[in-house]
Structure 1
Amino acid sequence: MAPAGTIDVRPATAERFDDVATILGPKNPEATVCWCLSHRLDSKTNRSLVGRERREYVRELCSRQIPPGVLAYLDGEVCGWAAVAPRAEAHPFARSTKIPHVDHAPVWSVWCFRVRSGYRRRGVAQALLDGAVRFARDHGAPAIEGYPVDNHGKKVDLTMAYVGTRSMFERAGFTPAAETASVSGGFPRVLMRLDLA
Structure 2
Amino acid sequence: MTIAVRAASVVEDVRTLVGPKSPGANVCWCLSYRVPSKLNNELRGPARGEYVAELCRAEPPPGVLAYDGDEPVGWAAVAPRSDTSFARSRKIPHVDDLPVWSLWCIRVRPGYRGRGISHALIAGAVEFARAHGAPAIEAYPLDSGGAKVDLTMAYAGIRKNFERAGFAHAADTTSVLAGHPRVLMRLDLR
Q: TM-score range by the shorter chain?
A: over 0.9
Quote the offset at 1:76 in angstroms. 2.4
Q: Secondary structure at the match of 1:134?
A: helix
Quote the offset at 1:43 in angstroms. 0.6
Map Cα deviations across residues 86-126 of structure 1 (whole Å, 9 max, x no partner): 00001x20100000000010000000011111001111111
Query: Which of 168, 173, 186 is matched with 1:175 structurally?
Result: 168
Quote the offset at 1:154 in angstroms. 1.2
Query: Which of 82, 89, 109 is matched with 2:83 structurally?
Result: 89
Quote the offset at 1:64 in angstroms. 0.6
Query: Which of 5, 12, 33 is matched with 2:8 structurally?
Result: 12
Quote the offset at 1:75 in angstroms. 2.8
User: What is the TM-score when the length of structure 2 is the normalising length?
Assistant: 0.99
Rounded Cα–Cα distance in structure 2 between residues aligned with 1:10 and 1:43: 28
Is 1:128 aligned to residue 121 of structure 2?
yes
Quote the offset at 1:153 in angstroms. 1.3
- The amino acid across from 2:167 in the alignment is F
Structure 2 segments unaligned to the other structure (5+ residues): none
- The amino acid across from 2:143 in the alignment is D
User: What is the TM-score when the length of structure 1 is the normalising length?
Assistant: 0.95
Structure 1 segments unaligned to the other structure (5+ residues): none
Equivalences for residues 63-82 of structure 1 within 5 A: 63-82=57-76
Q: Secondary structure at the match of 1:41?
A: coil
Alignment correspondent of 2:55: 61
Map Cα deviations across residues 17-66 of structure 1 (whole Å, 9 max, x no partner): 11111111111100111000001111101000000000000000011110
Is 1:114 aligned to residue 81 of structure 2?
no
Rounded Cα–Cα distance in structure 1 between residues aligned with 2:117 and 2:82: 27
Query: Which of 116, 126, 130 is matched with 1:137 structurally?
Result: 130
Q: Secondary structure at the match of 2:137?
A: strand
